[in-house]
Amino acid sequence: MCSPPKRLLVTGPPGVGKTTLITRVVEKLKGTHPDLKVRGFYTREIRQSGERTGFEIVTIDGQSGSLASSLSGSNSWPKVGKYKVDVAGFEALALPELEVNSSDAQLFVIDEVGKMELFSSAFFPAVWTIFNSNIPVIASIPIPKYGRDIPEVARIRNHADTMLYSLTKNSRDRVCLEVYDHLKSLLD
């Protein structure tokens, strides 16, 4: 009998609730597994006067910092749309969270493996190391834009031990429960 996949990917269009799903699943798992050691990060929108002006990275233990901004940042920073990506700020928070060898993590959270995060040359190797470890991971990935996939995203999507959950506004609650049940079965 095959064991269930340990790499869970959540995908869907922007704004559908991928980050919300991941944070809810992690909180629910912490409620049923109070000693669960979770490492990783999620991204959160920064809004001013109702308008999205950037993104911040938030580690599972609550540290936060800049990921991208439309209002500030060096002209030498790479851009995604109107946003300048703070690669150094991202790496300072994200990379220590993704270390497998120095961690006793029982679950990794990576929200997201996307274009902004992939400007860090060290990010994808860290993600790939996690995907090739025996530690469960939940990650979000973007849907291919204009039918074109980001090569690194395609690589993890096609990893042998991966299950993909597609999220829509109508399926959010059901998928949240499925992802929680799947991870809970891996941790029990």
pLDDT in tens, 152-174: 999 999 998 999 999 999 999 99
pLDDT of residue 15: 87
Pairing relationship of beta strands 79-80 and 83-85 according to DSSP bridges:
antiparallel
Average pLDDT estimate for 133-143: 95
Backbone φ, ψ for residue 57 (5° rounding): -100, 135
Query: How many of the other CB atoms lie within 10 Å of CB of 169?
Result: 10
CATH class, domain 7-187, is alpha beta
Q: Which run of H or E residues covers position 8?
A: strand 7-12
- Nearest in space to 133 (alpha carbons), one of 167, 107, 97: 107
Structure tokens at 82: 């109107």
Whether the pLDDT of residue 75 is over 90: the answer is: no
- Whether 123 contacts 117, CB under 8 Å: yes
pLDDT at residue number 40: 96
DSSP summary character for residue 146: T
- C-alpha angle with apex 96: 109 to 103, nearest 5 degrees? 70
Span 80-110, pLDDT tens digits: 989 999 999 999 999 999 998 766 899 999 9
Domain ranges for the chain, please list them: 7-187
pLDDT interval class at 146 (50, 70, 90): confident
- Specify the pTM: 0.93
Q: 162-166 and 7-12: which strand pairing? A: parallel
CA distance 142 to 64: 22
**Distance, C-alpha 39 to centroid of its chain:** 11
What does residue 97 show for φ and ψ, rounded to 5 degrees? -70, -20
Distance of CA 146 to the CA centre of its chain: 22
Lowest mean pLDDT among 65-74, 83-92, 176-185: 65-74
Express each pLDDT in 10-54 by its tens digit.
Answer: 999 988 999 999 999 999 999 999 999 999 999 999 999 989 999
- Find the mean pLDDT for residues 65-92: 90
Residue 1 has pLDDT above 60, yes or no: no
What order of strands is seen across the sheet that includes strand 51-59? 79-80, 83-85, 64-69, 51-59, 38-48, 107-110, 137-142, 7-12, 162-166
